[in-house]
Structure 1
Amino acid sequence: MLKVLASSWALLLGLLLLMLGNGMQGTLLGIRGAIEDFSTTQMSIVMSCYFVGFLFGSRMAPEMIRRVGHVRVFAALGSMISAVLILYAAAPHWVAWALMRVIIGFSFSGVYITAESWLNNASTNETRGQALSLYLIVQMIGIIAAQALLNLADPSGYILFVIPSVLVSLAFTPILLSISPAPQFESTARLTMRELYRISPLGCVGMFLLGGIFSAQFGMAAVWATQAGLNVRDLSIFVAGIYTGGLLLQYPIGWLSDRMDRRRLILFLAIGGTIVLTVPVLFNIPFVALVVVGAFAGGISNPLYSLILAYVNDYLKPTEMAGASAGLLFINGVGAISGPIITGWMMGVIGPSGFFLFMALIFGVLAAYSLWRMSRRPITPGSQSSYTAVSPTASAISVEAALEHNEDETLQS
């Protein structure tokens, strides 16, 4: 892993700065929205719009890269992100924020695709798994550290919007100055939704449901915290706890994934998520317990994303991996769009506990569907593919690389 870090440190540093900027802006908008007296419904629409833009970006950015090249797309979208981060404070209206969230979601999607294609191109078959692990660690550390930066200034002012803008601008310096010629970007044939569902119904449904859970965590945690009356320090600790749990539990769950029926593990994790997230709905628990609940929620949902990818890979041929990765990402993106909106509606109806209730219900649906699928198809024959950790914020480049790495690991074992 040190060899991978030595060869890709500039790219990983740039990605770390990008995640610091993105992690700050999502939480900061939740805080500032309450200051500007935006309703929960309005903020849920604002948060959902990021995933609308991200979904469009995942579909359109590859064509942009093929037409004008990696460097131009990277620089143009980076400039767009930096500008929008400043404009949030200059135009504090929820409709303007919604439109800007579409732009920034689109731009981040394109930036991730470009950066991940460079990282994937710089990796060999032997180092790809380590590169993906480092990428996940950098993403999580960036989001976790971003929460600490929220305590540097008053969220009602401009400074906290300037900081992520500067971080994103600085992110492109190490990347653009150190990367050798950009890799070729090849288009891949996509599997239709019908074909993908036929191959893995649980994979498709699970990806859709996880999209809603992740977008609720990423987009609505700060909105919940402000509605619940948490101050900035406690809010940042809670959000950081979600991603810390996702980082710490990724590898234990991955270890289990390679040693038992993955559907059974998906079922157990979904049941665990349902139970844990029901606790703050039924009981008035102290803040420390809320942080633990958040950590478990993130610790279950983030590894579940990689677990479902590995499960789908059990049923794929090598030639189907690229098309499957694009389809799964699209399904996850559609689910992500609905997450903040439904969460916001539930919070408007029953109060802050609607945030936890939404995720508990989604985990419950996933558990029930997993149990049903176990009765419909026998366990995967033969050996399973290897588990590789992938972040829910990753683009199709990382997902495809993970699937290919899983196949290589399976063939070698």
Structure 2
Amino acid sequence: MRVKPEHQFAPNPAGDRIDSRDPVFAGSAPVTGAGEPVVDWEKVVLVTATVGVFAVATGLSSPLLALVLKKELFSDLLIGANAAMTPIGLLTSALCVPRFAQRVGGSRAAVGFALTAAAALVLMAIFPMLWVWFPARFVLGLAIGGFYIVNKAWLNEIAAPAYRGRIVGIYAAVLAAGFSLGPFALALTGSSGWLPFAVGISALLTAALITAIFARRLPGFAVEQRASVASFLPRAPVLLVAVGVFGLFDQATLAFLPAFGVRNGFSEQTMAVGLALLNAGNVVLQVPIGWLADRFPRRLVLAGCSVAAAGGAVLLTLAVRHEPFALFAFLFVWGACACGVTTVALAELGDRFGGPALLAGSAAFTLSSGVGGMLGGPLTGAAIDKAGDSGLILVLAGAYGLLGLVVAAFPLTRRSGRSRTD
């Protein structure tokens, strides 16, 4: 059963001078003859299209910057240290963005973050020097994290509860597609000169322009109420664990899955395709997972994705013994199940929280994902050093197996203004 939330919204000083409440919960949304709320697909398309364009730039920037530094003959240690500035910026954004977005308004914050990210890329294109790139990449990570935090909060505010899982699934699919298009664009432009930077900068400016044009149609965040990441953490620990586990999976597979395949007889090119298909599953299968989350108890769907991902890690040892086509099909489904926990978690976040708490929750998701990603590489690397290829299996199966136990043993969230029967 769903009930109307008790939180309130207010216009913010950014010019978001519209009623920013979720119209479904406010009781003002149009409904069908059966009493079901009608989804405002214009807003859904607006938010998902904007994040998709923005994701093209973020998907392009990491490999582009690594290649440029490699051409400049910097050591792998310096390249890795410079790359670490982006996730550090992401983690920092989780701590400061919620109150900043409340103070200046969601739309102004999002436009500012997109423009800041574009300025960071311009600076790095003009000055390919480490003393510039270290602070610039920190600012880039901060801006990327800030934009995503606001954008995800918007998505959950406009999503009709009965369709929230599917809407989040569409969002996750578009986001994954944008990330995939970034490296593809880099393959077309190459890493030399201004052109690849121009593609990324153009994508960021486009996201800023779309947000600015449609600012009045996007939700604001009440300034009368305050919510911090620290205050949110104990309210949804299971959801945060789910997001953190996928962050670990993402970084572990990016870093170690290609080498795992090569050691088991596949070529580097084959594993590159396999890694792409691991992400492609996120594009194609997140909507069906979201549909399941709308039709069945979210706890059950989250547990199912966790068990499937843990079992997939174990089956990986069998999949690499077959032909590439079988491996590709396996990776396609396995990646979708692993990412599915974040789709379900984000949908549940939107059902349980609203307003400033939802903004803080979106930031907490970013924080948890960053922590999981930072742990994924070192933890998996240490396990592989100790146990060989079995180390990768043990870490991934263990992480998702533990998540499944946590989902079974604890409530997904503590009671809040929004309620939904698990």
TM-score by length of 2: 0.67
Equivalent residue, structure 2, for 1:360: 393
Partner of 2:311: 272
Q: 1:79/1:338 Cα in 2 relative to 1: closer, same or farther (>3 Å)? A: same
Distance 2:57 2:215 in 1: 21
Give the whole-Å Cα distance in 2 for the aligned partners of 1:371 and 1:158: 47
Q: CA deviation at 1:107?
A: 0.2
Q: Which moved more, 1:259-268 or 1:174-183?
A: 259-268
Aligned match of 2:138: 102
**Corresponding residue for residue 336 of structure 2:** 299
1:48-127 to 2 correspondences below 5 Å: 48-92=84-128, 97-125=133-161
User: Mind listing any 5+ residue stretches in structure 2 that lack a counterpart?
Assistant: 1-36
Task: Check conservation: 1:47, 1:101, Cα contact below 8 A.
Answer: yes
Equivalent residues of 1:50, 1:102 under 8 A apart: yes
> For the structure 1 residues 344 and 21, does the alpha-carbon distance in structure 2 shift closer, same or farther, using more than 3 Å as the test?
farther
Q: What amino acid sits opposite 1:304 in the alignment?
A: V
User: What aligned pairs does 1:1-12 form with structure 2 within 5 A after superposition?
Assistant: 4-12=40-48
Using the size of structure 1 for normalisation, the TM-score is 0.69
Moved more, 43-52 or 254-263: 254-263
Aligned partner of residue 185 in structure 1, secondary structure? coil
Aligned to 2:402: 369
> Shift of residue 171 of structure 1?
1.9
| Partner amino acid, structure 2, of 1:243 | N
Change (3 A) 1:217 1:72: farther
Q: SS at 1:188's partner residue?
A: coil
Contact 2:170 2:287 in 1 (8 A): no
Give the Cα separation in 2 of the matches to 1:371 and 1:69.
Answer: 38
1:209-254 per-residue CA deviation (whole Å, 9 max, x = no partner) reads 32222244578889999xx9957x985x555423211233334555
Equivalent position of 1:27 in the other structure = 63
Q: Residues 13 and 313 of structure 1: is their aligned pair in 2 closer, same or farther, counting only changes over 3 Å?
A: closer
Q: What root-mean-square deviation, in Å, do the aligned CA atoms of Structure 1 and Structure 2 show?
A: 4.9
Contact 2:97 2:363 (C-alpha < 8 Å) held by counterparts? no
CA distance in 1, matches of 2:234, 2:301: 21
Q: Distance in 2 between matches of 1:341 and 1:101?
A: 21
Partner in structure 2 of residue 169 of structure 1? 205
The whole-number CA distance in structure 2 between the counterparts of 1:358 and 1:404 is: 43
Residues 52, 178 of structure 2: 8 Å contact kept: yes
**Which string of whole-angstrom CA distances, capped at 9 and with x for unpartnered residues, describes residues 4-55 of structure 1?**
4445544443322111111111333444455445555544444443222112
Q: Give how far 1:138 is off.
A: 2.1
* Percent identity between the two aligned chains: 20
Question: Partners in 2 of 1:4 and 1:184 — Cα distance?
Answer: 16
Cα distance 1:222–1:38, how it changes in 2: closer, same or farther (>3 A)?
A: farther
Corresponding residue of 2:186: 150
Q: Is the 8 A contact 1:204 1:331 kept in 2?
A: yes
Match of 1:338 in 2: 375
Whole-Å separation in 1 of the counterparts to 2:323 and 2:132: 36
Quick one: structure 1 residues 209 and 182, their matched pair in 2 at CA, closer, same or farther if it must change by over 3 Å?
Answer: closer
Q: Take 2:377 and 2:106, find their aligned partners in 1: how far apart are those partners?
A: 32
Counterpart-to-counterpart distance in 2, 1:8 and 1:307: 17
Q: Which amino acid aligns with 2:367?
A: F
Using the TM superposition, name which of 79-88 and 168-177 deviates more. Answer: 79-88
Equivalent residue letter for 1:169: L
> Would you say the 8 A contact 1:321–1:404 is kept in 2?
no
**2:278 aligned with 1:242:** yes
Q: Secondary structure at the match of 2:216?
A: coil
Deviation (angstroms), 1:137: 2.8
The 1:107–1:270 alpha-carbon spacing in structure 2 relative to 1, beyond 3 Å, is same
The 1:129/1:251 distance shift into structure 2, 3 A limit, reads: closer
- Structure 1 residue 173: deviation in Å? 1.7
SS in 2 for 1:50: helix
Query: Per the alignment, do residues 31 and 299 of structure 1 end up closer, same or farther by CA in structure 2, a change over 3 Å counting?
Result: farther
> Do the aligned partners of residues 88 and 279 (structure 1) sit closer, same or farther apart at CA in structure 2, a change above 3 Å counting?
farther
Query: 1:118 and 1:205 mapped to 2: Cα distance?
Result: 22
Deviation at 1:274, TM superposition (A): 1.7
Question: For residues 201 and 258 of structure 2, what CA distance do their matches in structure 1 show?
Answer: 20
Q: What is the CA–CA distance in structure 2 between the aligned matches of 1:157 and 1:264, rounded to whole Å? A: 47
Structure whose CA Rg is larger: 2
- Specify the SS of the correspondent of 1:249: helix
* Equivalent pairs, count: 375
Kept after mapping to 2: 8 A contact 1:250/1:303:
yes
What corresponds to 1:391 in structure 2?
none
Aligned position for 1:388? none
Q: Which digits, 9 at most, give the CA deviation of each residue in 1:141-199, with x for residues without a partner? A: 22233332122122244322221111111222222112316533143366768845xx7
Q: Which consecutive residues of structure 1, in runs of 5 or more, have no partner in the other structure?
A: 386-399
The 8 Å contact of residues 49 and 98 in structure 1, kept in 2 or not, is answered as yes
Q: What letter corresponds to residue 275 of structure 1 in structure 2?
A: V
Q: 1:290 to 1:166 in 2, by over 3 A?
A: farther
